[in-house]
Chains A and B, each alone.
Chain A
Amino acid sequence: MILNKRIIRELKDNWVRYGALAFLIIFSLALVVSMAGSTDVVNYTIDKNNEKNRLEDGEFSVYVPLTENQQQQLEKLGARTEAAFYVDLPGPEKSILRIFKNRNNINTIELEAGRLADQTGEIVLEKHYAENHRIDVGESMIVNHKSYLVTGIATVPDYSNVVQNVSDVLADLTQFSLGFVSEAEFNQLLAEDLNVEYNYSYKLDGNLTASELKEKLIDLDFDKNRVANKYMQEIINTIEKGKNDLSGGVNELADGTQKLANGTSSLEQGSSELAAGAGSLANGTDQLSSGLEELTSANVTLNKAADDVFQGMIAQVNSEFEKMGITVTVTGDNYGTVIDRLIKTIGESDANAVMALNTMKAQLDSYKAFKEGLSAYTNGVESAYSGSLELSAGADGLYQGSLAVASGVNTLRNGSAELNSGMGELKNQVTNFIDQNMDYQYVNLITFLEADDNQRITSCKSDAAINKNSALIAGVIILTLIAYMISVFVIHTIDKESAVIGALYSMGYVKKELLRHFMILPTVIVTAASMLGTGLGFLLIGENIKENVAYYSYPGYTIVFPPYLLIYGILLPILIALFVNYMVINNKLSMAPLKLLRREKKQHPLTNIDLKEMGFINRYRIRQLLREIRGNITLFCGLSIAILLMVFGFSIYGSVSAYVNNVASDVAYNYLYLLKYPMETAPGDATKAYTESLTADLYLTGGEMDVTVQGIDDENPYFDFSLAGEKNDVVISDSVANKFGYKVGDEITLSDNLEDRNYNFRVKEVVNFASGLYIFMDINNMRELFGKEDDYYNTLMSDQELSIEAGRIATVITVDKMVAAARQMFTMMYGLVITILGASVLLFAIVMYLLVKMMIDKSTFSISLIKVFGYNEREIKKLYLGTTFYTVALSTIIAIPVSKMIINKIFPYMVSNVSAGMNATMSPQSDLIMVAIILGAYAAVNFMVGRHLKKISLVEILKERE
């Protein structure tokens, strides 16, 4: 169709307009395609690498390595496992290298250069670490005071995000990375009593699910005595000792109660016998008293008779003396002396007399002794009687007492029997308790992590996916805007050529032909621009992927051309352009030929609005604005999209800046030690806390994300909020509130996936704490909730670096590290921010220039007319460009808050894979800068369009009109 010849001329005549539109398309598509393409390249590269190097389905760690038999058992069930033990060792420049041995079946090493380490003293380094420390293959390096020859540079699929801990916000590629050594070298390291993590990777063959595997691992038996880690062994020993002490104590107690029972039984028997004996004793003493009483009554008679006998014997002696002629008289008292003197006096003269005297004396002595004995006896009987009376009374008391004792002993026996029986029960219960609760199954499993939940594996792709989705959505919005802008220009052309079109209709042209004709230019422009933009986008992938490649660890990428992206980059813009232009042009060409010939235009009802007594200039501007309402609406939309992009750029900048600042200001301690094996006594200069890692449902992704629950007490000097409240009350960080959408008063549920337990909490307060995702609760409540001892802790906070054995430490978090990680995020985002801001300013200026110029073009006749009337340039600018100011001002006033609202809503999705909650934040300075950019762009466009306005020749305009 010859008519189409004009297309190229139209293009030439309006090359600035179409060139700018094409530039916008090329620019937008190049950005979108390069961003989305980068994602595809990343995905492709990662997927290919994962497949080639047999990425794990998950991993788990244990205290005691699995036996070969256990591994075989698991394999039979459907889970192939491979040891991926590691030790974290100090490397150059205070860095930490996680050393693994070479892998054979799962997560195998992808060499980028060199060869695997197959000798002792050799090491293969992760590529970013090697690059950051400028270490090449063939060079040596010191790891843990030992020199290693670097034989290769490599990546592994299970550490594409090289974070030390799975919950780390960001990787620090200079400070932490991986090294791979030969099996022999690794065995040597194991022999050095280092803190080895017994980690395993697994792959499932489809017959076993991950949760089934976890159950199996929990149930797997293991020898706790083989726990190699001395700190863990220490804990086991403490637990076992406690358990044994308790068990032994209960046994001793049981034995004691048994003995007590036996003793009380014997005692009862004894006490009964005692009572019986006491009874007999009482009877005996009574009889004794009675007997003694009788004896006592004969005492006087007995003594008198004995005295009488003695006196009789004295009298007989005196009588004999008389017979013998001895004139001395003896008495009972002096007979001995007298007789002895007599014997002496007689001497040897009368032996018979002497013999008789000795006999007399012996008889008297004998009887006197009897008499005195009798007297003593009677006295004794007297005393015995008196004593027997007392004895009888005492025996009675004893009897009564023994009865009471017997009764008491009986009660005691019953009690001890009950005690014994209760003790048996206690013993059983304690034994059961020990069996059930203290039979620490010593689940060998420490951690269990499926690949899908492992940010070391997933974050690279999910990070890229977010960029891709955002880019694709933004691309469609911008393309639709551009397509609509093109249609606006086409309409402008149709309006301008209305009479010609009417003439063509008059000649017999049909709408279809003209529609096709008018569709060609926008379609060709969009097609060419989209092809160029898409091509450029693919060329820019290398540039775009730089940051991803620099941050994540994966092998060299291959550019791929996914069909969908070709469809998106080329076909979609064409379809959008065809659709939008078809709708608009078709509507425009549906006018009757006569109306087209007469240049009749539909007047929008708004154009007749009553502007009352408004000043002329403003009234004129508003009329002009309403006359060009379509152009102004398009301008409004275009500027709003540009402002949305601007707000997005500033929000990323603001959020990341705020994150960096808040991390530094919110965290009061300088060091936080997470301990795997806490010491019995914490260092005095440290504050104890208790930390658990749980997972929360993340509605943004439909998945889960780790949160850190930290138990602290009210005296903790690093936090200034109170934790007093109900037992399940928690104080959450604003980071958590933002990430998970929690509010004060919410009941939240967090899960311990390893234990398959859920914990419910109530949000008491939201506090500022930017770093990570922290939930705080009273340490005692937390200990109780998690069944820990009253003084349990596993976290230390301190102002100073603490001297703690490295093997006890799981992680050391320093504020400097947190800030450095946050700054790294800032650096990563910086390029994106600049690109977005640049794109927004370009979009803003180009859209404004094109549309304002078009509106001026449409008003050339009236402009020339008012020039004829004598209006000067300033006044003309005021009348025609002033309306643009209204649109710019309106879009700025409306679009900035609306954009902020939109960005606030979508921003969490953009950072949904980051383990920190960030709000879209814009500083007041950003607002001012943005307004300044808008005004600057407006001034620049005003200047350019003003020059165009100046060039409008009234003669030409009038001629054209004629």
Chain B
Amino acid sequence: MFIEVNDIKKSYGEGGSYVQVLKGVSTGIQKGQICAILGPSGSGKSTLLNTIGGLDTIDSGSIKINDIEISKLNPKESSLYRRNLLGFIFQFYNLVPNLTVKENIQVCEYLTKTPLDINELMEILGLSEHQKKFPSQLSGGQQQRCAIARALIKNPELLLCDEPTGALDYQASREILMLIEKINKKYGTTMLIVTHNTAIKEMVHRVIKIKDGQISQDYANTVLKPASQLEW
């Protein structure tokens, strides 16, 4: 298993404001798979993603990525883990506003010694013509593509996507999903997508549904629907 999540628990606050967000979540994901994590707001899906990404800690349990126990990493090791293995895509892109598209991608190219070919990547993501533009000159979809390119440039083994289409319209969302699909196929990148969009469950290898801090459903798709055919 590339990702092994074993009975993780996570809570926030104390006393009256105490909330247990994850109540013993266990799952495993194979390398190269796309996994969608679905669930309503406050179900704990983003928390699960963040703990896997080393952005948040867990109270108990264990998370192994490629046999590395990441819940025991200190901040420095955690950074190194993210640097070497992970790519992140966010709902609001979080691009550096005063860097061009290409430069935003280069920001992460800097983090690895074996980056992907930036021009090829921009070509794949349809960013070549926008490479000199600043984020503010791009549409939401273009910005998200830039964010994907930035995440992919260092050829991460695991790509964590937090509501990657949450801020996009239908067309742009579909384009992004198609890209994700394309990249997975081209680079074999394991992907974990947190989303509200239930349509996505049809294009992914694995679906995990979380409800109230627990996995309510966890299954694998045997037949995948191409992203271009998704409707919602």
Contact = CB atoms under 8 A, between A and B. Distances in A.
A500 B94 contact: yes
B23 to A, nearest CB: 20
B113 interface: no
Nearest to A504: B107
Interface in B86-135: 86-88, 90, 92, 94-99, 103, 106-111
Interface string A155-176: 0000000000000000000000
B98 A597 contact: no
A497 B97 contact: yes
Interface stretch (B34-42, B50-58, B222-230): B50-58
Given A508-B82, A594-B55, A3 B107 contact: yes
B145 interface: no
Contact of B80 (A497, A500, A508): A508
Contacts of B79: 505, 508-511
Most buried by B among A504, A507, A592, A962: A507
B207 to A, nearest CB: 24
A600 to B, nearest CB: 12
B79 to A, nearest CB: 5
Contacts of B60: none
B178 interface: no
Contacts of B97: 497, 500
Contacts of B108: 507-508
A13 B92 CA distance: 23
B167 A962 contact: yes
Given A500-B97, A506-B88, A508-B83, A1 B55 contact: no
Given A1-B110, A2-B106, A3-B110, A506 B53 contact: yes
Nearest to B150: A507
Contacts of A503: 88, 90, 94
Contacts of A962: 92, 167
Interface stretch (A4-12, A91-99, A688-696, A883-891): A4-12
Most buried by B among A10, A499, A500, A502: A500
A937 B83 CA distance: 50
Interface in A183-214: none
Contacts of B76: 510
A10 B98 contact: yes
Contacts of A510: 76, 79-80, 83
Contacts of A9: 98-99
Most buried by B among A3, A499, A506: A506
Contacts of B84: 508
Given A13-B98, A500-B94, A594-B55, A507 B111 contact: yes
Given A499-B94, A505-B79, A594-B55, A2 B103 contact: yes
B26 to A, nearest CB: 22
Given A507-B151, A508-B84, A6 B55 contact: no
A500 B88 CA distance: 12
A962 B86 CA distance: 26
Given A506-B86, A510-B76, A594-B50, A2 B98 contact: no
A508 B167 CA distance: 24
Contacts of B81: 508
B98 A6 contact: yes
Interface in A496-531: 497, 499-500, 502-511
Contacts of B53: 506
Given A500-B97, A502-B94, A510-B76, A2 B82 contact: no
A593 interface: yes
Interface string A381-404: 000000000000000000000000
Nearest to B153: A507
A506 B111 CA distance: 12
B80 A6 contact: no
Contact of B95 (A10, A500, A592, A597): A500
A509 B94 CA distance: 14
Contacts of A10: 98
Contacts of B106: 2
A506 to B, nearest CB: 4
A499 B56 CA distance: 15
Contacts of A5: 99, 103
A500 B96 contact: yes
B96 to A, nearest CB: 5
B200 to A, nearest CB: 21
B86 A508 contact: yes
A508 B96 contact: no
Nearest to A1: B110
A502 B55 CA distance: 9
Interface string A1-36: 111011001100100000000000000000000000
Most buried by A among B88, B92, B95, B103: B88
A502 B53 CA distance: 12
B50 A2 contact: no
A2 B150 CA distance: 12
A135 B36 CA distance: 97
A512 to B, nearest CB: 9
Contacts of A592: 55-56
A597 B94 contact: yes
Nearest to B83: A508
Nearest to B162: A597
A696 B105 CA distance: 75
B133 to A, nearest CB: 13
Nearest to A506: B88
A9 to B, nearest CB: 4
A9 B132 CA distance: 14
B92 A2 contact: no
Nearest to A501: B94
A957 to B, nearest CB: 13
Contacts of B95: 500
Contacts of B86: 506-508
Contacts of B151: 507
Interface string B150-173: 110010000000000001000000
Nearest to A590: B75
A247 B88 CA distance: 116
Contacts of B90: 499, 503, 506, 597
Given A499-B94, A500-B94, A506-B82, A2 B110 contact: yes
A506 B167 CA distance: 20
Contacts of B103: 2, 5-6
Contacts of B107: 2-3, 504, 507
Contacts of A3: 96, 99, 107, 110
Nearest to A960: B136
B204 to A, nearest CB: 22
Contacts of A506: 53, 55, 82, 86, 88, 90
Interface in A910-962: 962
Interface string A817-853: 0000000000000000000000000000000000000
A587 to B, nearest CB: 15
B159 to A, nearest CB: 11
B88 A507 contact: yes
A6 B94 contact: no
A5 B88 CA distance: 22
Q: When A and B form their complex, which 8 residue pairs have the shortest distance between CB atoms, in order from nearest? A: A508-B83, A503-B94, A2-B106, A9-B98, A508-B82, A506-B88, A6-B98, A510-B79
22 contacts: A2-B106, A3-B99, A3-B110, A5-B99, A6-B96, A497-B97, A500-B97, A502-B94, A504-B107, A506-B55, A507-B82, A507-B83, A507-B86, A508-B79, A508-B80, A508-B154, A510-B76, A510-B83, A511-B79, A594-B55, A597-B55, A962-B167
Given A1-B110, A3-B96, A511-B79, 18 more contacts: A5-B99, A6-B98, A6-B99, A497-B97, A506-B53, A507-B86, A507-B87, A507-B107, A507-B108, A507-B151, A508-B79, A508-B80, A508-B108, A508-B111, A509-B79, A510-B80, A593-B55, A597-B55
Interface of A: 1-3, 5-6, 9-10, 13, 497, 499-500, 502-511, 592-594, 597, 962
